[in-house]
Amino acid sequence: MAEALTVADEPMLFDRLESEPTDALLQLIALAKADPRPDKIDVGVGVYRDAAGGTPILRAVKAAERILVETQETKAYLGSAGDTRFVDLIRPIVFGEKGARDERIVGVQTPGGCGALRLGADLIDKANSDARIFVGQPTWPNHGPLIECAGVEMVKVPYYDTRSRRILFDEMMEALKEARPGDLVLLHGCCHNPTGADLSLDQWREVADFIARRGLVPYVDLAYQGLGNGLEADAQGTRLVVEAAEQALVAQSCDKNFGVYRERTGSLFVKASSKAGAETVFGNLLQLARTMWSMPPDHGAAIVHTILDDPELRADWNAELKEMCARIRSLRARLSAYDERLAFIDRQNGMFSMLPLSRDAVLELRESHGIYMADSGRFNVVGLSDENVDRFAAAVVEKLDG
């Protein structure tokens, strides 16, 4: 009889794990949901809410889903690059018509913007495990884990000061001088998450020029295109840096601008130094994707593909995206008008802004007013409704740290 081989004092496999804290942003969804107060205000996670407080499926998305139910004939595998027509349709939206024709840029479909960011980080690590990525602070809390999980070292540089409500541009540029050729710079393409504070076009030009001169590689996270100042305006910075740099990455997401959040719909584009180099990158992306998710989920990309290939649906999507963008802008204007100390909010873009609030103040707002925002003071502007925006403003100005 075979003897069981045990090492008495060694813990079993899973007993070696340490407990992990729940993701703070995702936990906010559950906390807000569990609050029975009818007048609670959920400005936590980044989802669009309409005037009635709902997150409805866009008309064009519903129509595309109906078309897919009627016409899709197979669910057979598409391959690790996903839906290549989807990627081709996204290209000009991100890079413009001219940029989209650049044969040094290759792209694959990914499971949302997170999948794109992770795939890009893996590609970086595979290409050069010594490459570091410079990331302005504060940033989206999942950037660090996504990048470091792939083994890429993250170097923190200043970006924004919450108290003075301004971008620390000179400080950031100074800190970037530490970067070596081949290092990466993470940039939020538009609608900076968590601060809403975007670089001006002149600042983008300066960054693009700096990156090009120093042989750095921009890694742009473009998750909110169309929700700041419109599709074209929101892509200007990305196009400037990608055009200037010899090599670049862009992690793109359709989750917010098509409102298909849980479908996880995005893409990763990589610019190489040459067409041949781009082909090598493409092969590596396929191999890395194959080891992580094999093939990306299809449904969200099929929806986007159907919309963008149909002039009527495309026009309707554009119109609804403009409505969403206008609603965000009008809420920003209302908050700004409420109090001088909130005036900065109208100069910022997208779903988020960050209030100078202590963690205690954030928790107090949660307990006494049912206001759910991230511990950092980040709030989702469009989580507010026409009815509660003034109540929100009144409660937060009481607690501002400056």
Does 223 qualify as catalytic in the annotation? yes
Catalytic site residue from 121, 208, 223, 272: 223
Does 121 qualify as catalytic in the annotation? no
Binding positions for ligand LMR, rule: CB under 6 A:
25, 45-46, 140, 142, 193
Catalytic site residue from 122, 183, 256, 399: 256
Shortest Å distance, C-beta 260 to ligand LMR: 13
Q: Whose Cβ is closer to ligand LMR: residue 24's or residue 201's?
A: 24
Shortest Å distance, C-beta 135 to ligand LMR: 15
Question: Per-residue DSSP letters for 139-179?
Answer: --TTHHHHHHHTT-EEEEEE-EETTTTEE-HHHHHHHHTTP
Shortest Å distance, C-beta 149 to ligand LMR: 15
Q: Whose Cβ is closer to ligand LMR: residue 27's or residue 280's?
A: 27
Catalytic site residue from 83, 198, 221, 255: 221
Residues with Cβ < 8 Å from 250, sequence gap 6 or more? 94, 189, 219, 220, 222, 238, 242, 268, 269, 270
What are the angstrom distances between the C-alpha of 9 and each of 6, 13, 300?
9, 12, 49
Q: Whose Cβ is closer to ligand LMR: residue 63's or residue 116's?
A: 116
CB atoms within 10 A of CB 122: 21
Nearest Cα residue to 140 out of 358, 384, 352: 352
Does 393 qualify as catalytic in the annotation? no
Q: Whose Cβ is closer to ligand LMR: residue 47's or residue 67's?
A: 47
Which residue sits closest to ligand LMR, CB atoms considered?
A: 46
Does 317 qualify as catalytic in the annotation? no
What are the angstrom distances between the C-alpha of 246 and each of 51, 97, 212?
44, 19, 7
Cα of 116 vs its chain's centroid, Å:
10
Contact 293, 114 (CB under 8 A): no
Give CA–CA dist 201/85, Å, rounded.
Answer: 31
Q: Whose Cβ is closer to ligand LMR: residue 86's or residue 261's?
A: 261
Give CA–CA dist 347/333, Å, rounded.
Answer: 9
Give CA–CA dist 218/194, Å, rounded.
Answer: 19
Shortest Å distance, C-beta 32 to ligand LMR: 12
Catalytic site residue from 60, 64, 83, 140: 140
Shortest Å distance, C-beta 25 to ligand LMR: 5
Shortest Å distance, C-beta 110 to ligand LMR: 14
How do beta strands 132-137 and 153-158 pair?
Answer: parallel
Contact 132, 115 (CB under 8 A): no
Q: Whose Cβ is closer to ligand LMR: residue 45's or residue 168's?
A: 45
Active site residues: 140, 221, 223, 256
